[in-house]
Every structure is written in structure tokens, then in C-alpha cells.
Amino acid sequence: MRHIPSKFSPDAMTWTLICGIATICMLLGQAQGFGVLLGRAVLPGIGLAVLVAGLVIGRRSGNARLTAGALAFLQMTLFTILGVVLTYLLAARAGPLWDAEFSAADARLGLVWPTVFAAADRMPAALLMLGGIAYHSLVLQMVVSIVLLAGAGRLQRLRTMVAAAILSGTVTVLISGVMPALGNLFDPLHYKALWPSVAWLDRDLVLRLRDGTLRQVDLSHMTGIVSFPSYHAALPVILVWGLRPFSRIRAPATVWAGLTIVATPLFGGHYAVDVLAGLVLAIGGLVVATRLPTTCPEGMLQPKLCATPVPRTAGPRRIGSKDGVGVIHDLV
């Protein structure tokens, strides 16, 4: 596949998207009278400071892997915070809800959700527990993916994965502002085994944003309120793509990602069309990100992370290993 003929690298796209989201948040927040609870912003601020410190230490010590890992975590954390804030701001000015249209689309696919929920409620408790754990493990999946790619020296793949994740996430947030929905809600009191979905727990938050009674953002307790498309369906696909070089965990990671996606309607309160749209966005994000140049343009913030071979390190490695990435390569 031919690369886009420009110097717009994955990192350049990532920072452009983050800065763009931050700008929109500031403009919309000021226009709509939103504020931030400063006392609740301390812990997120400390977390960001730690990541910046790791980035600085990695750059000063010449440790490309530490630099790449800290940078990836910093970018994903900034995007998560700003993206959630933007979903709040868009929800506060969104038009009519699209739940009826999404539900009708699911019905055309043969999915009558009360029947599906009733069947799921009769499933073994252990199976429901497994699905719930998979759904709520998405942050852990992201952490593991970043750590493995950075530790194994797969820095270009890491940068591309993060770029695809943030691109698809940005499009998800923007579409949700145009096509808002409460989600595929069901009352858990009507079932014996089903957990309350995220959409059910967040329904009051969405309604308060829409009616103007909530205008203070708590950065210590933020939750995504996007229904269509589903980022919970998009991100596992992108993370699995990132982990493809790790042959020993490729199959388990794919199965776990599939379980996460299948569990998304039940535990996230998403419609089937939400999930399908999320999968399309994941593929689109990967197509765009993988076509970006793989070398660092002049003036980038992290010139040491260009697509150059990672120096071999001491330690055990498999016979025939080409990357020479030490102990971590024994796991791939």
C-alpha cells in the first residue's frame, strides 16, 4: 500500500487531533458556561505529570522505549480526558435522540432486544461474569498493548496504533454529537442475572447535560456517554492489530477482543448498529494511520523514535530472533 505523500506522520496526526479537541472543548465550554471542579482535577493532573516526567526521563537518557511508552500513554490519557469532556459538551447541545432509529435498525437485523436480554438472563452466571470482565477490561487491554509494543521495541507500530485509536475515537465522538442516543437501555430490576449496563447507569448524566442542570465537569469521575458508534467495538480491533507481531498472544488477544465486542451491547448498552459502526471506524482508522509516513519529519517532538532499528540489548532471546529485544522477545 502506498504511503500518503506528505510529512504528516502518525505522531503529527495524533497531536493535531488532540490539540483540535482541546480547542473545541475550550470554545464550547466557554460558550455553554461549563466549568471544571478544580479540586477533583488533582489526581488526573498528577497522572499526567507522571507521564510527562517519564517522557522527559526517557528523552534525556536516550531510552527510546521508555520515551515511546510514556508518549503513547500521555497521548491516550489526554485524548481520553478531552474526548470525554467533548462528549459532555456535545451532549449538552445535541438535538433529538436517535434511539428509535437505532432500535428499528437492529430489528431489521433480526435483533429484538427484550428477547435477547431474556435469553442472556438465562445464561450461566460464569459466562455472564466473563463477558462483563471482558467488556470492562478495555483500559487494561490498552495498557498491555502499549507496554508490550514499547518494551519489544516495536515503536513505529506503537505510534501507528495510537494514531489509529485516537483518529477513530475522535470520529466516534463527533458522530455521537450529531446522532445522540441514550443507548440500548434495559431495567436490571426486571432480570435476575444481568448487570446494569453502562448506558443505564449514565442515563441521568446524559439527561442532566441535555436539560442544562449539569455544567460542572468532574475530571476524577468521567465516563464515556457515546452510544453511536461504539468505541468499545473499535478500540479492541485496533489493539489486536497492534499485537499481531506477538505470535504467542495473538490468538488469545483476538479471542478476548472478540468477547469484548460481543459483550458490548449487553454490558455497554449499545445497539448492534453501534457495534457495526465502531468496527467500520476501526478499519478506517487503521487504513489511514498505516498509510502515514513511517519516518519522523524535521522538528518533531520525538526525533529519536524514527523508524530505525532498535539496538540489541543483553539478555536471553530466542534463536533466530531478528529484533534482539531481550527478555520480552521470549514472549513473542
- For helices 64-92 and 203-211, angle between their N-to-C axes, nearest 10 degrees: 60
Model confidence at 324, pLDDT cuts 50, 70, 90, reads very low
Element (H, E) at 280: helix 272-290
pLDDT at 94: 80
Distance CA 47, CA 319 (A): 39
Q: pLDDT tens across 285-313, in order?
A: 999 999 998 754 333 344 444 443 444 44
3 occurs within a structural domain: no
Burial of 96 (0-12, 13-18, 19+ CB in 10 A): exposed
Do the Cβ atoms of 77 and 154 come closer than 8 Å?
no
Q: pLDDT tens across 92-151, in order?
A: 988 899 999 999 999 999 999 999 999 999 999 999 999 999 999 999 999 999 999 999
DSSP annotation of 152? T
206 occurs within a structural domain: yes
pLDDT at 295: 55
C-alpha gyration radius of the chain = 21
pLDDT at 236: 98
Do the Cβ atoms of 285 and 231 come closer than 8 Å?
no
Domain, as residue range, for 38 = 10-298+305-331
58 occurs within a structural domain: yes
- Asked if pLDDT for residue 153 goes beyond 90, the answer is yes
Q: pLDDT tens across 37-80, in order?
A: 988 889 999 999 999 999 999 999 999 999 999 999 999 999 99
30 occurs within a structural domain: yes
Of 1-5, 250-254, 267-271, 296-300, the least confident: 296-300
- Give the mean pLDDT of the chain: 87
2 occurs within a structural domain: no
pLDDT at 7: 63
Of 218-222, 239-243, 252-256, the least confident: 218-222
**DSSP bridge partners of 230:** none
pLDDT at 186: 93
Q: Where are the beta strands (DSSP E) in the chain?
A: 35-36, 216-217
1 occurs within a structural domain: no
The total number of structural domains that make up the chain: 1
